[in-house]
Amino acid sequence: MWIWLAFMVPACAAGFVLFRRNTIPPASSQPFETSRLSVVIPARNEEANLPHLLSSLRAQRYRPYEIIVVDDGSTDRTGLIAKAFGATLVEGLPLPEGWTGKNWAVWNGYLRSTGDLIAFLDADVRLAPDALGALAEARSRTNGVVSVVPYHYTEKLYERLALVPNLLGLFAFTSPFERTNPQKGLYDLTLGARFAEAGVPVTNFIGRGLVSFRMYPGGIRSEVEGFGKGAVQSTGKLAKPTVLLVALWLVGLICAEAAPFLLHTAGAPVWTAGYLLYTLQIYYFSRHTGRFGRWLPAVHPISTAFFLYIMLYSSYRVLFVGHVSWKGRKIRIGGDRK
């Protein structure tokens, strides 16, 4: 049984190779002078999230030059809320063949923008008052494009099931092997790859303390659909060493999670040691990833099972259905899409 511990130790260590605590440098105490900043927000049925984001934009010390909300065919009060906060509303845009809703909304928001810099924000994002200033300074220092993996704020039990999927996503964006990946992504993988192709430097940060989001307050079905819509395909855009180390870490995690079923065997101390090793690591990583409660990292097999279900769901949609569902819209998978 000691051979399993010898495997789980380097497998667990793979997580430390992948993880980088690359948080956004804090904004300077001096006023930051920069170009005019346009904020573009694609939004589809976001009446619950949009007020949080727009309120946080009002509270920024570095104020945006303009805020553009692109209503992506909403059937709720998204447009009314955008107008109530004084944002520029873009709506009524028919979706052309070959485009998905979000990238069409982002493109049209870009076309309507008049600032010198553009920040694309999802509607579920929430910003600390210094967030835009810190991001503008980070962009100035890196002389390229910056992106943020937001800190995942959760409230309900089903939301906290996303612990392991969030950790794996964090590995993908902080992996040192992605620095030279020609398909290196922003938090939006496809958009990041386009910048990289154009020779524009891409830098990813961890949002803890400045940028957070609450991803799926609408129920577990939306959580499954949200994670499932890109779980399988996004893996193919990562560097091979990243994929291999993520797979090694995950296999080690699953092996360690067999411990509760092997406590009656002679190898129980070895399995328990592996389980505790991963648990301590997950507690450390989760501090930078999101708020998942005190007890869920200790019973991480629950979140691992949720992740495996997501992968099976996503694989089924890709291989047999040909599309995924998101907010009442069918998104075709495969073929040529913008």
pLDDT of residue 336: 40
Instruction: Give yes or no for residue 329 having a pLDDT over 90.
Output: no
End-to-end CA distance of the chain: 51
- At residue 4, the 3 state secondary structure works out as helix
pLDDT reported for residue 199? 80
Which residue type occupies 152? H
Cα distance between residue 37 and residue 39, in whole Å? 6
Top-confidence range, 54-58, 219-223, 264-268: 54-58
Nearest Cα to Cα of residue 20 among 197, 245, 295: 245
pLDDT on residue 270: 85
Band (190; pLDDT cuts 50, 70, 90): low
What pLDDT, in 10s, does the model give residues 5-33? 788 899 999 999 999 988 998 877 665 55
- Flag the least confident range among 167-171, 179-183, 317-321: 179-183
Q: Quick one: tokens of 19? A: 């993880």
Q: Please give the model's pTM, rounded to 2 decimal places.
A: 0.88
**What pLDDT band is residue 337 in, cutting at 50, 70 and 90?**
very low
- Looking at residue 290, the DSSP 8-state letter turns out to be B
CB 223 within 8 A of CB 133: no
The dihedral sign for the CA sequence 269, 272, 274, 276: negative
Least confident of 31-35, 84-88, 110-114, 316-320: 31-35
Which of 134, 131, 46 has the alpha carbon at shortest distance from 87? 46
Candidates 331, 78, 81; CA nearest to 228 is 331
Residue 324: pLDDT band with limits 50, 70, 90: low
Q: What's the sign of the alpha-carbon dihedral 236, 242, 247, 250?
A: negative
CA gap 227, 84 in Å, rounded? 31
Write down the mean pLDDT value for the chain.
Answer: 87
Average confidence (pLDDT) over 50-58: 96
Which has the closest alpha carbon to 277: 288, 269, 289, 266?
269
Q: How far apart are alpha carbons 212 and 209 in whole angstroms?
A: 8
Cβ atoms 226, 310 nearer than 8 A: no
Question: pLDDT class for 92, splitting at 50, 70, 90?
Answer: confident
pLDDT at 135: 93
Strand order in the sheet with 117-120: 88-90, 66-71, 37-43, 117-120
Lowest mean pLDDT among 22-26, 81-85, 167-171, 186-190: 186-190
* Encoded tokens for 306: 């949720």
What mean pLDDT comes out for the span 303-325?
84
Which two tokens mark 260? 């509760």
| Higher pLDDT pick, 250 / 190 | 250
Higher per-residue pLDDT: 249 or 169: 249
**DSSP 8-state secondary structure symbol assigned to residue 336:** -
Burial class (CB in 10 A: 0-12, 13-18, 19+), 41: buried
Q: Within a 10 A sphere around the Cβ of 324, how many other Cβ atoms?
A: 22
Alpha-carbon radius of gyration of the chain:
21
At residue 334, does pLDDT exceed 70?
A: no
- Residue pLDDT, tens place only, 208-265: 999 999 988 888 988 988 887 766 566 767 889 999 999 999 999 999 999 888 888 8
pLDDT given at position 34: 63
